[in-house]
Amino acid sequence: MLKMPKYLILAEKPSAAKNFAKALGGSAGHFADFDYRIMNLRGHLMTFREPEEMVPETLAKKYKSWKLADMPWQLNDLNWQRTYIRTRTKGTTNKQLLDQIKAELKQGYDGIIIATDTDPSGEGDLLAFEAIDAMKWQGAVLRANFMDETPQSIQQAMRQLVPIADKWQYGPYLKGESRSRWDFASMQLTRIATTLVKGAGYAVVAREGRLKSVIIWKIYEQWQKINAYVPVPYYEVKFKDPAGHVFARKVDPKAEQIAWRHAQRSEGEADVATYHESAVANEKHTTKRQAPPKLIDLAGLAALLAPQGLSAKQVLSTYQKLYEAQYVSYPRTEDRNVTPEQFNELLPAVDQIADLVQVDRQLLSHRQPRKTHVKPQGSHGANRPGTKVPVSLDQLEKYGPGARQIYTTLAKNYLAMLAEDYVYDHVTADLLDYPDFKTAFNVPIALNYKAIFNVETDDTESQSATLGPTAQPELAEGKNPKPQTPTTKWIMAFLEKNNVGTGATRVSTLSDMSQGTKGMLNESRGKLTPTQTGNISAIMVENTWIASPKITKRLFEMMDEVEQFKMPMAQLLDSVTQVIAHDMPQMEANVANLTQRLGPPPKKRKVKAKPKAEQVTGIFKGQEVHFAKTWGNHTFTETEIADLLAGKTITFETTTKQKKPFTAKGQLGKRTFRGNEYTGFKLLKA
Same domain, 32 and 134: yes
Rounded mean pLDDT of 375-389?
91
In a domain, 73, yes or no: no
In a domain, 74, yes or no: no
User: Over 90: is that where the pLDDT of 674 sits?
Assistant: no
pLDDT tens for 93-122 read 999 999 999 999 999 999 999 999 998 899
pLDDT tens for 585-597 read 999 999 999 999 9
In a domain, 356, yes or no: yes
Nearest in space to 221 (alpha carbons), one of 514, 513, 486, 524: 486
User: Over 60: is that where the pLDDT of 167 sits?
Assistant: yes
pLDDT band at 163 (very low <50, low <70, confident <90, very high): very high
Q: What are phi and psi of 383, to 5 degrees?
A: -60, 130
- The amino acid sitting at 460 is T
pLDDT tens for 501-543 read 889 999 999 999 998 888 999 999 999 999 999 999 999 999 9
pLDDT tens for 339-377 read 999 999 999 999 999 999 999 999 999 999 999 999 988
* Cα distance between residue 373 and residue 413, in whole Å: 12
CA 398 to chain centre: 22
ω into 348 cis (within 30 of 0): no
Domain, as residue range, for 586:
184-228+485-598
Same domain, 24 and 140: yes
- The amino acid sitting at 431 is L
* Cα distance between residue 102 and residue 135, in whole Å: 6
pLDDT band at 385 (very low <50, low <70, confident <90, very high): very high
Same domain, 456 and 426: yes
In a domain, 519, yes or no: yes
What distances in angstroms separate CA 31 from CA 3, 41, 48, 113, 141, one per listed residue? 14, 21, 36, 13, 17
pLDDT tens for 407-421 read 999 999 999 999 999
pLDDT tens for 568-577 read 999 999 999 9
In a domain, 30, yes or no: yes
**Residue pair 113/8 in contact by the 8 Å Cβ criterion:** yes
Percent of the chain with pLDDT over 90: 83
Rounded mean pLDDT of 641-668?
89
Dump the DSSP string for 570-610.
HHHHHHHHHHHHHHHHHHHHHTTHHHHHH-SPPPPPPPPPP
pLDDT band at 1 (very low <50, low <70, confident <90, very high): low
Give residue 88's pLDDT. Answer: 66
397: left (phi over 0), alpha (psi -120 to 50) or beta: alpha
Q: Can you name the residues that pair with 235 across neighbouring β-strands? A: 262, 477
User: Over 60: is that where the pLDDT of 327 sits?
Assistant: yes
Nearest in space to 593 (alpha carbons), one of 525, 659, 536: 536
**Residue pair 331/301 in contact by the 8 Å Cβ criterion:** no
Quote the radius of gyration of the chain (alpha carbons, Å): 33
CATH number of the domain to which 30 belongs: 3.40.50.140
User: Over 80: is that where the pLDDT of 165 sits?
Assistant: yes
Same domain, 95 and 109: yes
Same domain, 328 and 254: no
More confident residue, 148 or 176: 176
Same domain, 381 and 309: yes
Same domain, 278 and 326: no
Q: Can you name the residues that pair with 438 across neighbouring β-strands? A: 248, 430
Q: Which long-range contacts (CB under 8 A, 24 or more apart) does 20-25 make?
A: 20/115, 20/149, 20/154, 22/151, 23/149, 23/150, 23/151, 23/154, 23/155, 24/154, 24/155, 24/158
Percent of the chain with pLDDT over 70: 98
**Domain final residue pick, 598, 626, 641:** 598
Give residue 171's pLDDT. Answer: 97
Q: How many CB atoms lie within 10 A of CB 94?
A: 21
Helix (H, G, I), strand (E, B) or coil at 434: coil
Same domain, 23 and 134: yes
CATH number of the domain to which 256 belongs: 2.70.20.10
Give residue 512's pLDDT. Answer: 93
Same domain, 212 and 264: no
Nearest in space to 414 (alpha carbons), one of 382, 442, 389, 444: 382
Q: Is 659 exposed, middle or buried (0-12, 13-18, 19+ CB in 10 A)?
A: exposed
Same domain, 393 and 426: no
Same domain, 502 and 537: yes
**Domain final residue pick, 433, 453, 479:** 479
User: Over 70: is that where the pLDDT of 90 sits?
Assistant: no
In a domain, 175, yes or no: no
Q: How many separate domains does the chain show?
A: 5
CATH number of the domain to which 375 belongs: 1.10.290.10
CATH number of the domain to which 496 belongs: 1.10.460.10
The sign of the CA dihedral 180, 181, 182, 188 is positive
In a domain, 489, yes or no: yes
Give residue 31's pLDDT. Answer: 96
What rounded mean pLDDT belongs to the chain? 93
Rounded mean pLDDT of 675-684?
85
Q: Give, for 311, the enclosing helix (H) or strand (E).
A: none
In a domain, 641, yes or no: yes
pLDDT band at 607 (very low <50, low <70, confident <90, very high): low
Same domain, 16 and 112: yes
**Domain final residue pick, 456, 479, 502:** 479
- Cβ-count burial 177-205 (b if 16+ within 10 Å, e if not): bbbbbbebbbbbbbbbbbbbbbebebebe
* Cα distance between residue 498 and residue 526, in whole Å: 21
Q: Can you name the residues that pair with 618 across neighbouring β-strands? A: 625
